[in-house]
Structure 1
Amino acid sequence: MTAYVGLLRAVNVGGRQIKMDTLKQIAADLGFEKVQTFIASGNLLFISARREPEVKAMIEDALKDIFRAPVEVMVRTAKEMAEVEAANPFADEPGNRVAAIFFDAKADAGQIEAAKNISDERLALGTREIYVHFPSGQGRSKLKLGGKAPGTARNMNTVCKLAELVREMA
């Protein structure tokens, strides 16, 4: 059995709303165990004997049925979440001013090189993440990463809490 975090992209912003109780029920219906959510931004924690690609596909298929449109989900194991937390190159900065942008595949330096609208942001390459320090705040940033791979961002306060919660499940 593996403890996972599923990070839903672009839910509970704009018109794509889902209650966390509904998300928990979806995960339970898929056969996942010890299901929980953290804050209302699409963070799903669960245990499954299935491998990452399969749990990702299962969640995305279930969400597609609800939203009638694709919803990308980035999945990480407890070990991977701990690695994301530990690899934060901006650990000396406030956690609410640093984000990890999660991708399905290996992050590409070209995404950073092709970034647009950089003002005071600092970017660093992770494994399947790109870290961004937002000195003026993420809400004020106009930063656009290069590339077409969908990703989803979580600030480091959230990453650290998710890493702690999923570690406790493992």
Structure 2
Amino acid sequence: MSEWVVLLRGINVGGINIKMADLRAALHAAGFGQIRTTLATGNVVLESPLDSDALKTEVEAVLAEAFGYRAWVIVSDVSALRAVVDSYPFDPEREGWHPYVVFGSNDEHLTELSALAAELDPDLERVAQGNEVLYWEVRKGSTTDSAFGKATAKAKYKATTTTRNLRTLVKVLA
């Protein structure tokens, strides 16, 4: 059994409401073990013998069946997520700023988003490429209004990206 982190995209926003107890129950019924959720934003740690691709497919199918929506998830093993958190290139405690990590399952989409870094106003936000992720810091109050925030919200990226606050990821790993 391997321990995995599964990040659900777009739940408990925009009309897709899932209680974490219901999420845990659905995953348990599907045969996953040691299921733990963090916050109400779709952060799950679980055990499974499946590889990451099979786990992604299975979890998305479970979510579609149990909650009736087209689910998209990002799967990472715990050590890879720890490396992502440890590699955050900006000051995660910078006063007045949010530290984010953008996860993606499509390299082309991450490359497109990464290319925006040169066009961003560094007084408002910065983006840096990581290992299969993008690191983003943005002034508090500007997350959805910023150029990068607007770009990541495009429908094109809906099925392939999800963003988490670095502090949330630290809690997931705790």
- TM surpasses 0.5: yes
1:84 and 2:89 aligned: no
26-35 vs 106-115, which moves further: 106-115
Which residue does 1:154 correspond to in 2? 164
- Could you list the runs of 5+ residues in structure 2 that have no partner in the other structure? none
Q: 1:103-126 CA distances to partner (integer Å, 9 max, x unpaired)? A: 124474332214799441100111
**Cα distance in 1 between the residues matched to 2:47 and 2:83:** 18
Q: 1:138-165 CA distances to partner (integer Å, 9 max, x unpaired)? A: 255352148944211110101111122x
Which residue does 1:60 correspond to in 2? 60
Conserved in 2, the CA contact under 8 Å of 1:122 and 1:134? yes
Which residue does 2:32 correspond to in 1? 32
Q: Percent identity?
A: 27
Pair 17,147 (structure 1): closer, same or farther in 2 beyond 3 Å: closer
- Could you list the runs of 5+ residues in structure 1 that have no partner in the other structure? 165-170
Q: 1:74-101 CA distances to partner (integer Å, 9 max, x unpaired)? A: 0111111111111101135449711001
Pair 11,108 (structure 1): closer, same or farther in 2 beyond 3 Å: closer
1:7 CA displacement: 0.4
1:123 and 2:124 aligned: no
TM-score norm. by structure 1 comes to: 0.84
Alignment: residue pair count: 164
Which residue does 2:102 correspond to in 1? 101
Conserved in 1, the CA contact under 8 Å of 2:6 and 2:76? yes
Conserved in 2, the CA contact under 8 Å of 1:23 and 1:44? no
Q: Aligned Cα RMSD in Å?
A: 2.6
Pair 113,142 (structure 1): closer, same or farther in 2 beyond 3 Å: closer
**Cα distance in 2 between the residues matched to 1:100 and 1:129:** 7
Pair 147,20 (structure 1): closer, same or farther in 2 beyond 3 Å: closer
Which residue does 2:43 correspond to in 1? 43
